[in-house]
Each structure stands twice: as structure tokens, then as C-alpha cells.
Structure 1
Amino acid sequence: MGDAFDVDLSGGTPVQIEDGLHALQVNGRAHFDGSWTVVHAYLVQTLSALGVDPLVAEEMTSLPGADEIAALLELRAQVESRMWDLVVVDCAPTAETLRMLALPENLAWHLGRIIPGTVGLRRAARPAAAAALGIPLPDIEVLSVIRDWYAEMVAVRAILGSERASVRLVTTSEAVVIAESRRTWTSLSLYGFAVDAIYVNKILPSVVAGDHGPAADWLASWNEAQRRGLAEVATSFVGIPVVQAPYLAREPVGVDALAALGSAWIDADLTPILQPVAAAAMQVERTDSGYTLALRLPLASASDVGLQRREDDLILTVGEHRRIVTLPSVLTRCTVSGASVRGGSLTVGFVPDPAQWPR
């Protein structure tokens, strides 16, 4: 982002670009140096107790996903500071972005299962439990850090899944890129994120009528290919505004060039960006036979979707992406009666299990 604005953002604090516009580059390690040191020391101690060489243990316990977690925590801090009308996150390519957006829910799920098992052990029983396991149990300081991380991830997830948050996809008119964007929309919906705009980048100018020669033929060929691509985008993302961004004569670097790009958008019939969006949350409804749980999965077919029940969790898989959903209490006392994918939605049926209901 600093390169796009032609501004140095290495300081780790918001930099004013112009009136009403600030930019910030996130420093991952700055968020974790204190709390991660506590957990890191415990992990090294645990691996050493298992016979792992201390140097190897040090390498094995480097913090995974530090940059993604730091970006999410910074997002929460900036949103909750109420200093800004709008916070925009410039995301990495698709795979990294999906991993980052899924991280709060996934990490909160795992942390939520660590805390009860360790907190439940009385202080007097901890040495015996550690001896039985053959590894040291986390001390109170480690558990306090884990509790804080859990609370932070829950808070971040609440922001990302609210009507105040949305995703705007950037694609091009090439068939391969459109196909990837279609899969991205489905995956974002799996995690409950709303997409409220599609930007189709690098639209070439139309060939001048009457022009001939290799250059004109080349441009005419690309014009036709982009027309087909734009038609595919319109068909794929029904109901979502599509913005066409022209291929400029030079790379847009700096505020003036970026403003010129914004003013050159084609068919920019966008919902006001500060207007709330309809969050793509799961819906639970009562039926004659029990309950249904429904989740929007646009463009998905039944063969794309995997479904597994594991105790109080429902594991949903779309392609290579997986989401673990902790079921509402009313559904934990039910069994899955079936599932279907129709009209861009996954519907899972549940029927009450008398053996699990209070007597």
C-alpha cells in the first residue's frame, strides 16, 4: 500500500496521506513480543520434556500466522478506536486472505478447547497430571495469555461477521481468474462473509472503428475476449454490483493517479460503502419434523460440499476450505436427518433425539 500511495509506511503508526485519509502498515511482531514470549517458553519446555533438542524446539515453535493475526488485531483496534468512518484492509492474494479471514473462528475454536481442560485441574492435582502426561502443564500466566487470545479472536470474528463488514473482490476478465473469483465467493460465504461488490480490473479501450493492422487486430481480439468475460462475471455474480476499471496508460502510483483511476470506473452503481450489508450468517428455523440450518453457498453444487457431525460441532468443507461450526444448543440434542445444496444454499435437517433431551 505504501508503494501505491508513494508514501513510507514503515513506522508502524497511521500516516496521513491527505485530509480524511490515513494509511497504516501492520508490524506483526510488535503485537506479540510480550504475550508470545510467555507461550513460546512453555512450548520449548514441553518439547524439551519430550526429548526434542532445544535448538530444534526453538525452530519448531516459531509463531505461525503472526502477520495474519497481527493484521486482525490491528483491524479490531482501529475499528474500536472510533477514529475513522471507514477502515479498509488491503488484502493479500486469495489463499492468504481466506486463511486470514477464517483464522479468528478457527483459532477461537481451538483455544476454547484448551482452556477448560487445563483450568479445570486444581492446583494440587497439576503435578500428578503433569507426571501422568509426561509434559509440564501450562502455568497461570500461560493460561491468562490464552484466555486473552481467545477473547480477542471472538471479538475480531464479531466485527468481521457483522453488518458493518463486507468484502469487495478484485478480478480480471480472463476466464481462469473469473473461475478463481467464483470459488472465492463460495469460500467467503462458507465462512459467513458478505461480498458487496466485484471490481473487474484492466479493461482495455475499444478498438477504433476502421482501424486495421496487427495492433488493431490484437486489440479487437482482446475486446471480444473481455466482453465474454464481463458477461460471465455478470452471470456468475447475480445481485452484486460490478465495477469495471480501465487499463490505464501508466501504473497508478500516488494519490492523484489513484483518484483518476477511481473517477474512470465504468458502471460504478455501488451501494454506499458506509451502508450496512446483509451478513451471510447461518439461519436456524423450526420445522414440522425438527429444525433446519441453512447457509448461503453461492455457485456450489452438492459434489463440492462435505458435511460431518462430530459431537457438538458440524464440519463443513467446500473444496480445500473447512469450517468448524459449533452448533446452537437446541441442535446439539438432535441428529442430522439429511442435507441438500439447492439454489446456492446448503440446508441441513435436524430431528430431535429423545435420548439427549432432558427428562
Structure 2
Amino acid sequence: MSAREAQGSGTRVIMFMGKGGVGKTTVAAASAILAAESGQRVVVTSTDPAHSLGDVLGRRIGSVPVQVTPGCHAQQLNGRDRLEESWAEVGGWVRRAFGWAGLDDLEAQELMLLPGLEELFALAEVTSLVDSGRFDTVIVDCAPTAETLRLLTLPEVLGFYLDRFEQQRPLRRAVSETVRRLGDLPIADAQIAGATRRLADELSGVRRLLSADTTSVRLVMTPERVVIAETRRTHTALGLHGYATDAVVVNRLLPEHVSDDFTARWRSAQLERLDEVREGFGGVDTLIAEMSPIEPIGAGTLAEMARVLYDGREPTAVLGTSQPMSVVTGADGPELHLPLPNADRGEVDVWAGDGEIHLTVGAHRRNLLLPDALHGRSVVGASLSDGTLVIRFDADVDAERDDGDA
């Protein structure tokens, strides 16, 4: 299973996500340094292609973790080596197939690297940090929100297609000789199938690690209406894909004692937004970082920032609760409960069939395999209430109806 048996060891993973420019990297670095002060072995690692973690820490870092303070290491992830190792055989076959189709080698090499693959395999390096046993806590400074959401869904989506690839092997063997007679199209042989299986297993390991009980997301935002709205959508998307959020961080709140009317009015507007955050992210803790008169760079300044931010809380504790998908017994039959915090009813669409639930929430989509307890049952209705999607199933197995809509 890897990733220390899906975190059976209890290794803590905390992922800091947020819109570009909200101070996500600074908050992640500060959290790591404060956690190390309590005696934990901590590494803060960045998948953000902006490579700003070293700038925040005030020192040069690379792809190998280096100690920045006692107990705290830092690393700037680069997924290219892992990508080339894991994708080499499959990518080589794809390149040959593109060449057969008439593309020159340079074009084929460009097309075979699917968008996001390099970043995804940078994220896969987090499993290596957990497996190493060197650290009690792994803190991840993620790429900006939209890109990270895409990366978090890639293991599941690619795993889905790789599984289908495996299931079609007998058919491919049957037709391969016929295809060869028609031309020299490269056929995916057993070696490619084995490489595909290893790739699928690696992606599954990422998925298990990031959805484990000891992994949680912290959403960083500034107290601005547009940023808060995007963060709420992110919160919903994370719930859709089964990722737990345990805290939101409101960064760069203007300090209480301000000297002029303009700044005082600005702070007043920020406080109104802060109330919206506290009301709109139920079940998770709200952490507040005031704007500093000096730029928070270097271990000492970051540690002080973190002490104010956490205000006596342990940075690596689970700071809030997020309910997982569950099956419960309803009045008329079994129900599947799926948390969708901040989702609007008009954005939710549900369809069931072939042992799967197909969900759409705004621009985000997910296919869920039904738990064994619900196999053979039909959806009879769905509703969204208090941030939880409730999908109701017929009490009898193999009922006639086979779909539902919310």
C-alpha cells in the first residue's frame, strides 16, 4: 500500500492551499517552524512552480530536504525525475504511436506529457517523504488553488482510465495481430500493461495518502469578497472529492490600532468579511494573521508570526472536523450522505447507474463507486441540506428505477 500503509504510522500531512498571492507559502513555512519548536520532526515542501519557499525562508533550498531550523527541513519539489521514471515506458509507447500517426519526434514528445503530469508527480513525492520515516509531519505548500484542485483529482481520473486500460487487455491481444497486418501501429504489449499498472498503483497511493484521516487541508485567504467566494468554492470541491479541511486562515487583516480614517474604514470592511468567513466555513477552525509592518522573511520572523496565528493551538493538531461520505439507514431505505460545504442546490446534479454515482457541482465532476451496501439498489431521490448531499436508495435490491436528480 505504501505511504507508510496509508498513514497507519500516524504521520501528519497538512496541505496549505489558496489563491495566488494570499500568503500561502508564508503561512506554510511559519507553521512548519513553529511545529518543529515543539520537538517534532517536520519538513515543509512546495509543489508551487513559483519556487518562493526558499525566498520566504531567506535561504536557498533544492529538491533534497535541507535543515533550516532545529527539527525543521525544507524542500522545493521537482516532479520531473519521478515523472520520467514512472512515465518512461508508457510515454515511450505513446510517442511511438504519435510517430506512427505522422508527428515528428519533437511534436510527439511535447504531446505525450499531459498537462499537470509533472506537478502531479511532484505531489507523489510527498508519499516518499511519509514512507521515509524521517518526519512526524509533512507540510505541503501547494500550487495556486485551481491548479492544485486539478492535480488532486488527477489520481482518481487517471486511475479510472488506467483501470479500463487493464480491463481491455484481452480484447487488445485478440485484435493486435489483425492491426499489425494493416500497418505498423505500435501495440501496447504486456510490458506496457505492467508499466500502466505500476503507474495506476502509484497514483492510487497518492489518493490514499491525501484522503487519509491524518491528512487535512488548510485554506488560506485574504479578507476580500472575491477571494472568500473562490475559497468557498474550493471548500465545496474538496468535500466533493473526499478531502478534509480542518482550518481556514484569514491572512493580512489590518491591525486593530490604525492611525487614519481610510485605513480604519478598510479594516471595518475586512471585519465584515471575517464574520462571513466564520459563518460560511462551519466545522473548521478560523485562524487570523494580521498584516505585519515588516515583510515576514526568515525563521525568526516566521516563528513569531506563527505564534500569533495559532494563538496557543498546536500547529499539527486537527483543528476542525469534516465529515466523510457515509451510508446511514433512513426512514424508507439506505442513504448516502456526502458533505458538500457551501454548495448551492442549483449547481448540484446527480445521476446513478452501473454501480456508480455521477456528481456535478458547478464546474467540478466526480464519479463515485457505490459502497457494497448500495450495490443493486436504485436512487429514488436526492436533496441538499445544511451542506450535505443526501442520496436516497430504494429499500429493495434491483428496484426498477435507476437514476435520481438533485
Structure 1 residue identity aligned to 2:339? R
* Partner SS state of residue 293, structure 2: coil
1:344 to 362, 382, 387: 387
1:8 to 60, 64, 70: 60
CA contact (8 A) 2:232 2:342 kept: yes
CA drift of 1:245 comes to: 0.3
- In the alignment, which residue of structure 2 is the partner of 1:320? 363
Task: Give yes or no for the alignment of 1:284 onto 2:300.
Answer: no
Distance 1:139 1:112 in 2: 16
- In the alignment, which residue of structure 2 is the partner of 1:239? 283
Distance 1:224 1:124 in 2: 70
- In the alignment, which residue of structure 1 is the partner of 2:127? 76
Structure 2 gaps of 5+ residues are: 1-52, 402-406
Structure 1 residue identity aligned to 2:385? R
* Partner SS state of residue 334, structure 1: coil
CA drift of 1:122 comes to: 8.1
Structure 1 residue identity aligned to 2:76? Q
List aligned pairs for 1:140-289, cutoff 5 A: 140-207=190-257, 216-265=260-309, 268=311, 270=313, 273-275=316-318, 280-287=323-330, 289=332
CA drift of 1:206 comes to: 2.4
CA drift of 1:53 comes to: 4.7
- In the alignment, which residue of structure 2 is the partner of 1:22? 73
Structure 2 residue identity aligned to 1:178? I
| Alpha-carbon distance change, 291 to 132 in structure 1, aligned in 2, over 3 angstroms | farther
Structure 1 gaps of 5+ residues are: none
Task: Give yes or no for the alignment of 1:46 onto 2:91.
Answer: no
* Greater Cα offset, 251-260 or 34-43: 34-43
Structure 2 residue identity aligned to 1:312? G
Distance 1:193 1:269 in 2: 26
1:353 to 398, 403, 406: 398
CA drift of 1:31 comes to: 0.5
Structure 2 residue identity aligned to 1:257? T
CA contact (8 A) 2:246 2:320 kept: yes
Distance 2:330 2:185 in 1: 49
Distance 2:283 2:172 in 1: 56
List aligned pairs for 1:304-315, cutoff 5 A: 304-315=347-358
Structure 2 residue identity aligned to 1:191? H
- In the alignment, which residue of structure 1 is the partner of 2:17? none
Distance 1:72 1:90 in 2: 10
CA contact (8 A) 1:241 1:270 kept: no
CA contact (8 A) 1:26 1:70 kept: no
1:64 to 96, 105, 115: 115
CA drift of 1:76 comes to: 0.8
| Alpha-carbon distance change, 60 to 327 in structure 1, aligned in 2, over 3 angstroms | same
Distance 2:203 2:122 in 1: 12
Distance 1:240 1:207 in 2: 28
Q: Among all aligned residue pairs of Structure 1 and Structure 2, give the percentage whose two residues are the same amino acid.
A: 38
Structure 2 residue identity aligned to 1:326? L
Structure 2 residue identity aligned to 1:106? V
Distance 1:188 1:63 in 2: 23
CA contact (8 A) 1:241 1:269 kept: no
CA contact (8 A) 2:283 2:321 kept: no
* Partner SS state of residue 192, structure 1: coil
**CA RMSD after TM alignment:** 2.5
Structure 1 residue identity aligned to 2:132? S
Distance 1:276 1:255 in 2: 24
| Alpha-carbon distance change, 223 to 264 in structure 1, aligned in 2, over 3 angstroms | same
Larger Rg: 1
Greater relative contact order (Cα < 8 A, sep 6+): 2
CA contact (8 A) 2:87 2:199 kept: no
CA contact (8 A) 2:210 2:243 kept: yes
CA contact (8 A) 2:378 2:399 kept: no
Task: Give the TM-score of the pair, scaled to structure 1.
Answer: 0.88
Distance 1:58 1:162 in 2: 35
Distance 1:350 1:134 in 2: 50
Distance 2:323 2:82 in 1: 30
CA contact (8 A) 2:289 2:308 kept: yes
| Alpha-carbon distance change, 180 to 35 in structure 1, aligned in 2, over 3 angstroms | closer
CA drift of 1:52 comes to: 4.2
| Alpha-carbon distance change, 143 to 226 in structure 1, aligned in 2, over 3 angstroms | same
Distance 1:48 1:189 in 2: 41
| Alpha-carbon distance change, 173 to 354 in structure 1, aligned in 2, over 3 angstroms | closer
- In the alignment, which residue of structure 1 is the partner of 2:404? none
